[in-house]
Copies of this chain bind each other. A is one copy, B any other.
């Protein structure tokens, strides 16, 4: 069962590196039940990431129910989040209701349920802050910042869209259509292709919201760029929870 999303983060197709088709799953379950030292207690599915429709989850539960009765079901992750104002993900309550009601009607109310809503929990918790280094105008207005695909690979890997704003005048009219370019040595290193910014200038801090999922975990040292720090903020307080990477760190595994 595959939900509608980017092919790289869709799962559950017949020809997938992940999981088993329902027919293959039946064979595997029978083998597990026949094995003297194994006691299968539940089933797991994951139908894809960054999904905005609930029906694929219901359909997946119905398919699970056809595979037998178990005490535990892990329905994986996949609940989408809003990266831009154009994204309208389901409410968490509606997502949970869709899963739980389908499990109840298909399998009964006595099941133990596990969910893996990682992105939905953390994506909106973070913003990435860049500093503008230079601005160039040709066909586009290129706003070049001190980061890019070393701290956020999602635009390059999946064409993911983000918004951007000038941090100290977030409420100002964002009248200039810009390309927010990273500092790395390839043309694909563009963080936001349609960034509407309020009179950006070198030295400005640019914020890109919704970088709490898959930014830190996909970070790398392309072009020898050290990874940025992670700072937790709340109610006017802030503390560093992951320190900035140093050039000494970059060479820390070298054997001399």
Interface positions of A (Cβ within 8 A of B): 7-11, 13-18, 20-21, 24, 49, 136, 138-140, 142, 144, 153, 156-158, 179, 181, 186-190, 217-224, 227, 229, 239-245, 249, 252-255
Contact = CB atoms under 8 A, between A and B. Distances in A.
Given A241-B254, A245-B253, 18 more contacts: A8-B156, A8-B187, A9-B186, A10-B187, A11-B186, A11-B187, A13-B187, A15-B140, A17-B136, A17-B142, A18-B187, A20-B138, A217-B223, A219-B220, A219-B221, A227-B253, A240-B255, A242-B255
Number of chain copies forming the complex: 2
Contacts of A239: 255
Nearest to A12: B187
- Interface SS of chain A: helix, strand, loop or mixed? loop
Contact of A24 (B49, B138, B222): B138
13 contacts: A7-B187, A7-B188, A8-B186, A8-B189, A9-B187, A15-B138, A15-B139, A17-B136, A17-B181, A17-B187, A17-B189, A49-B186, A242-B254
B223 A220 contact: no
B17 A179 contact: yes
Nearest to A217: B222
Nearest to A144: B17
A13 B188 CA distance: 13
A144 B21 CA distance: 17
Contacts of A218: 220, 222
Contacts of A157: 156-157, 188
